Amino acid sequence: MTLAPYACDPARSRGRRHHEPPAPTRSEYQRDRDRIVHSTAFRRLVYKTQVFLNHEGDLFRTRLTHSLEVAQLGRSVARSLRLNEDLVEAISLAHDLGHTPFGHAGQDALNECLAGHGGFEHNLQSLRVVDQLEERYPAFNGLNLCFETREGILKHCSAANARQLEADEPDGVGQRFLRREQPSLEAQLCNLADEIAYNAHDIDDGVRSGLITLEQLQEVPLFDRYRLAALHEFPQLEQRDQSRRLLYESIRRMLSAMVYDVIDATQAALTQAAPNSVSVVRCLPPLLKFSQSMREESQTLKRFLFVNLYRHPQVLQTSSQAKTIILELFDAYRQAPGQMQAGFTTRADAAANAVDPQASLSRVVADYIAGMTDRFASREHERLTGRRLLC
C-alpha cells in the first residue's frame, strides 16, 4: 500500500543520532521496532503493573499486554489512513518502557524523591531508556532509534525538560515543545490508541476483578449504548451466566466505535487541511482526533474509571504500600549506592565528581528503581529493610 503524503517515510527519516548503514532487508522503522522488542526494558514490561499488580491475577493486563493492544489498535487505524504502520508499531511498543514498577503510584513516589532535581516523568524516562539506559551496542548507549520513533515516545514534556533536551541535542526531540508544534500523525495516533486501549481494557479488568460492576457502568453512556445494542441483538445475554459474554460484546462494540470515530474524524480533518508533508502536519493543530462528541464521551468514561477504579479503596491501599516501597528503596540506595547492581554502582561513583553530586546520584538511583519489575522492587525492599510488602 502506498503511504499518504502526510505519512512518515523511512527513506526521508531525520535519521539516527549515531550513523549506521541501512539494513539490507528492513526499513528503518521496522528495525526500530525489532530493537525495541529485543530490549531488556521491553521484556520487563510483563512484570510491571498497569492497574493491577502482576500477582493479583493471571489475566489482568500488564504493561506488556497493554502495549501490544496499543500497537494492534494503532496499526489498524494507521492502515486505514495510509500512515506508516511500522512506525506506529515501534512507538506503541516503546511508549511505556519508562514506567516504574507499581504503575502510577511508583511514578508519583519517584517524582517526589526527585523534587528539586528535575522530577521524574515516565515519558521522558521512556526516552532515557531508548537513548541511554539500554546497554546492547558496543559503539553507543541506548538503541539509537530514528528521530521519528523518539519523537513519538516523548509524548509530553515540561518546558524545563524540553530546554534541557534542546541543550543536549539542538533541533532534537525537545524542540517541538518549545515551538508548540505537533509530532507526526503516527505519534498522534499512538496517543489516542493508548487512550482507547486503556479505556476498554480497564473496564474489562475492573469488572473481572469485582471492583466495578456492569450495573455501575450503566451510568457511562458510551459503554451503556453498546451494552443495550448487544442485548437488543442477543437477548439471551441478559441471563446471569452470560454476563462475561455481555461484557466482552459491549466492550468489543465500544472499541470498534471509537476506532471508526477516529478514522472518520481524522479523515475529515485531513481532507480539510490537506497537508502534503510531515513538516506541514507538525505546524498544524492536531489532526488525528476523535469527533467532538466521542471526545466528550471518552472523557466521561475516563472520569468514571478514575473515581470508581483507580480511586477504589483496594487499589489505593496497594498504591500506598507501593509508594512506601519506592520511597524506602530510594533512601536505601542513596545511603548505600553499593547495594545497586554493578553498572549503577559505577555510575553512582562517577556522580561524586559531577557538577551537582546530589542530583546526579539521585538520577542514578531513580534510573535503577524505574527499571525494576514489581517483583524485583518488592524483593529488594525486603532485602534492604527486612519488611515484606506486596509480595
Q: Per-residue b/e over 238-266, b at no fewer than 16 CB within 10 Å? A: eeeeeeeebbebbbebbbebbbebbbebb
Residue 69 is a binding residue for Mg ion (CB under 5 A): no
Least distance (Å) between residue 50 CB and Mg ion: 8
Q: How many Cα atoms are found within 13 Å in the side-chain-facing hemisphere of 344?
A: 22
Distance CA 380, CA 374 (A): 10
* Cβ contact 29:87 at 8 Å: yes
3-state SS record for 79-97:
HHHCCCHHHHHHHHHHCCC
Residue 205 is a binding residue for Mg ion (CB under 5 A): no
Write out the DSSP string of 103-139. HHHHHHHHHHHTTTTT---HHHHHHHIIIII----SS
Candidates 100-108, 126-134, 187-195, 310-318: pick the segment binding Mg ion (CB under 5 A).
187-195
Residue 202 is a binding residue for Mg ion (CB under 5 A): no
Least distance (Å) between residue 63 CB and Mg ion: 8
Give how many residues touch Mg ion by CB under 5 A: 2
Q: What is the CA radius of gyration of the chain?
A: 22
Least distance (Å) between residue 95 CB and Mg ion: 6
Distance CA 281, CA 237 (A): 45
Nearer to Mg ion, 92 or 319 (CB): 92
Least distance (Å) between residue 194 CB and Mg ion: 4
Residue 121 is a binding residue for Mg ion (CB under 5 A): no
Residue type, 34: D
Residue 194 is a binding residue for Mg ion (CB under 5 A): yes
Least distance (Å) between residue 28 CB and Mg ion: 24
Residue 131 is a binding residue for Mg ion (CB under 5 A): no
Phi/psi of residue 62, nearest 5 degrees: -115, 180
Burial class (CB in 10 A: 0-12, 13-18, 19+), 159: exposed
Angle at 357 between CA 352 and CA 363, to 5 degrees: 105
Nearer to Mg ion, 96 or 202 (CB): 96
User: 104: alpha, beta or left, given left = phi > 0 and alpha = psi -120 to 50?
Assistant: alpha
Residue 195 is a binding residue for Mg ion (CB under 5 A): no
Distance CA 387, CA 391 (A): 11
Nearer to Mg ion, 194 or 202 (CB): 194
Binder among 96, 148, 195, 202 for Mg ion (CB under 5 A):
96
Least distance (Å) between residue 66 CB and Mg ion: 6
Candidates 16-24, 192-200, 209-217, 256-264: pick the segment binding Mg ion (CB under 5 A).
192-200
C-alpha cell, 281? 502536519
* Cβ contact 110:369 at 8 Å: yes
* Cβ contact 160:192 at 8 Å: no
Nearer to Mg ion, 96 or 121 (CB): 96
Least distance (Å) between residue 87 CB and Mg ion: 17
Pattern of binders to Mg ion over 314-353, x per CB under 5 A?
A: ----------------------------------------
Candidates 88-96, 116-124, 157-165, 305-313: pick the segment binding Mg ion (CB under 5 A).
88-96
**Beta bridge pairs of residue 62:** 49
Least distance (Å) between residue 117 CB and Mg ion: 25
Candidates 115-123, 194-202, 222-230, 250-258: pick the segment binding Mg ion (CB under 5 A).
194-202
Least distance (Å) between residue 142 CB and Mg ion: 21
Nearer to Mg ion, 92 or 360 (CB): 92
Nearer to Mg ion, 28 or 194 (CB): 194
CA dihedral 288, 293, 296, 298 (to 10 degrees): -70
Residue whose C-beta lies closest to Mg ion: 194
Binding residues for Mg ion (CB under 5 A): 96, 194
